[in-house]
Structure 1
Amino acid sequence: MRRTLLAVCAALIFPLAACGSEESTNSLPDATTTAVSPSSSAAAPTTTVSPEQALYNEYAAALTAAGIPFRPGSGLGSGAFSSDQSICKAMRGGTLDAYQLARVELGTAGEDNKRRVTTMVPILCPDQQPLLAEALSGNAVMTRFIDGKYIVSQGGSAQRSVMPGTYSTGPVSDCYWERADSQGNIIDNNMVSISQSITVTIAESDGAFTSKKCGPWTLVR
């Protein structure tokens, strides 16, 4: 009877032990599944700056460091950055010569505008620094002007003035030009239906010059 009881107890105890052993084994964390691999960690985000944005950042930093006020904005057609890019384009294209640069951007536009232009040229159009230097020298000569009505002035001090000299333009179609004295009396004029080129000399004694549909005039001498 005693042997039978021992056998029964043994039969009950061993399966329980086996079950306990299996449960404790399965409850241990698997090192191969919980360990974090260095290669699987998320890479630090990187920010890509476009060349245009980098140029704007340099431009804005230079103006800010110099204490020069400017309209922010790096998008097309926005802020002083876009305006100054247009100035650089005009300088490169020849539509803004040293004389006009000195007279308008470095003169009538105001001191803040002058400081901004002299600061931005080395950044946005460094190839135009010789033109800027000529404009700042005070010795720039008018080499080009467009259609309009002008007061003839040796120093070009009037708001809309042209310096005496010989200028040419062309080709033209239906171009009208006129030289007048200081009282507005016509000295010489011409209406040109069509021509490959026109050359006109504006004398120091002239008072005014008018050009309609003649295109840009360029200084010859």
Structure 2
Amino acid sequence: MRRLPGVGIVAAGAVAAMVVMSGCSDGGTSEAGKAGTASAAGTAAASSSPPAAATPEEKFNELVQGTSYYFEGQGTGSSADAMKRYCDLLGEKELDGVPPAQWLAERELTKQDGETVLEEGVTEFCPAQAKTLKAAVEGTYERWFADGTYEVGSGAGQMPAGAYRTTGALRECYWERTSRSGKVLDNAFATSAQEVRVTVRSGDGQFTTRSCGSWQPVK
């Protein structure tokens, strides 16, 4: 049988080409598989990473959210921001005419959950004010007396007998001491003054003050 010229060569070439193409195809599929596997492994590793720890602000916000306490003037801001503002206020000499400890005791600690929230807030954001909060909680602070009428005595909300003074640019300052039955024992009106003093007696019933600023015990 006679071989046709070139037929064997062509067939061999075709077989070789098929082998090469098959090898290329297998190699491409293998690389894609490796890439997909690596991507899946990366995703799994990311999903298994522990969540980021909550910040002090986030923890405090969550604490306040679980209580009935509220910050004055908080608005739409966070509780943590409101607490930091309170921290700044506690560094002042007086708030609303009274010492910071008295301000806390009479205005903030009377709120439900007030002590819990303020203790956490002071510890976290302004530990330097811990003594002020402690004095407010224990009632061991000097008490001042702004406008109002106070029963004379040593009980809660009462004005202890003793000497007091008020200072500043006083205008139309009026004060009076009255008996238990309401009889005026002594009074005074100052159109303008820089300092006014008064002695509240143990037998007095009430002490009334208007536009005189804050009366502070004379030491």
**TM-score (normalizing by structure 2):** 0.64
* CA distance, structure 2, for counterparts of residue 33 and residue 199 of structure 1: 92
Q: Give runs of aligned pairs for residues 113-132 of structure 1, distance below 5 A.
A: 121-123=122-124, 125-132=126-133
Candidates 169, 172, 179, aligned match of 1:171: 169
User: 1:123, CA displacement in angstroms?
Assistant: 4.5
CA 1:83–1:167: 2 relative to 1, 3 Å = farther
User: 1:125, CA displacement in angstroms?
Assistant: 4.3
User: 1:151, CA displacement in angstroms?
Assistant: 1.0
* CA distance, structure 1, for counterparts of residue 178 and residue 24 of structure 2: 108
Aligned to 1:180: 178
SS in 1 for 2:204: coil
Structure 1: unaligned runs, 5 residues or longer: 64-68
* CA distance, structure 1, for counterparts of residue 151 and residue 170 of structure 2: 23
Aligned to 1:66: none
Contact kept in structure 1, 2:177 and 2:204, CA below 8 Å: yes
Aligned to 1:194: 192
* CA distance, structure 1, for counterparts of residue 166 and residue 53 of structure 2: 50
Aligned to 2:68: 71
User: 1:92, CA displacement in angstroms?
Assistant: 3.9
Cα RMSD for the two superposed structures: 4.3
Structure 2: unaligned runs, 5 residues or longer: none
Q: Give runs of aligned pairs for residues 63-142 of structure 1, distance below 5 A.
A: 70-71=67-68, 76=74, 91-93=90-92, 94-95=94-95, 96=99, 121-123=122-124, 125-134=126-135, 140=140, 142=142
CA 1:119–1:16: 2 relative to 1, 3 Å = closer
* CA distance, structure 2, for counterparts of residue 82 and residue 203 of structure 1: 45
State the aligned residue count. Answer: 201
User: 1:83, CA displacement in angstroms?
Assistant: 8.0
* CA distance, structure 1, for counterparts of residue 181 and residue 190 of structure 2: 25
CA 1:87–1:14: 2 relative to 1, 3 Å = closer
2:58 pairs with 1:53: yes
Identity %: 27
* CA distance, structure 2, for counterparts of residue 180 and residue 72 of structure 1: 38
